[in-house]
Amino acid sequence: MKPHSLDKGVVDLLAPRHLDEMDAFYFYRAASNWCQGVGYFKAAAFFAAESQDELEHAAKIEKYLVDWNITVPLPTVPKPRIEFSTLLEVLEEAYKIEYDLYEAYEETSKKLFNMDLCTFDFLQQFRLIQTKSVAEYSDKLNLLEDVDGKDKFKLLLLEEKLF
């Protein structure tokens, strides 16, 4: 008897989320490196931890697929952007990534609801993570709402509150 595998349709829905998590991992690594290089040391540490979280998310998706007898094709991740002009720009990009992931997990979950409830349930953890991440980055952007993103002195003063 051969063990059951996930349906190809389910795998096809999870593969883009795996790529999204890997893409986010590389973005946060690049953000951490850039922040470190320009003196935002708390932000650098924060984004380094974010990158590790994204890598763990990708690993959870991989493990889920492997546990269901799927050979996981490793995605080709586009080369990340490595230069930024301001810390505000990094935060705006991070918010966009997190919000896009939120929407992607919501859409994937809707499709899976009538297709595979176990996988739908598996994705609940990611929906919760994304809801929290969107709120966290929203709070950071709200704090910086009237701050000139090019004023490094003010951003350095606010770095403690942001990170």
What CATH number does the domain containing 66 carry?
A: 1.20.1260.10
The pTM score is 0.93
Half-sphere exposure of residue 89, counting CA atoms within 13 Å on the CB side?
13
Burial class (CB in 10 A: 0-12, 13-18, 19+), 20: buried
pLDDT in tens, 24-50: 999 999 999 999 999 999 999 999 999
Q: What residues make up the domain containing 102?
A: 8-72+81-162
pLDDT of residue 20: 97
In a domain, 2, yes or no: no
For residue 18, report the phi and psi dihedrals to the nearest 5 degrees. -60, -45
- When divided into structural domains, the chain yields a total of 1
In a domain, 122, yes or no: yes
CB count in 10 Å sphere of residue 117: 10
Distance CA 27, CA 42 (A): 17
In a domain, 127, yes or no: yes
pLDDT in tens, 142-159: 999 988 888 888 888 888
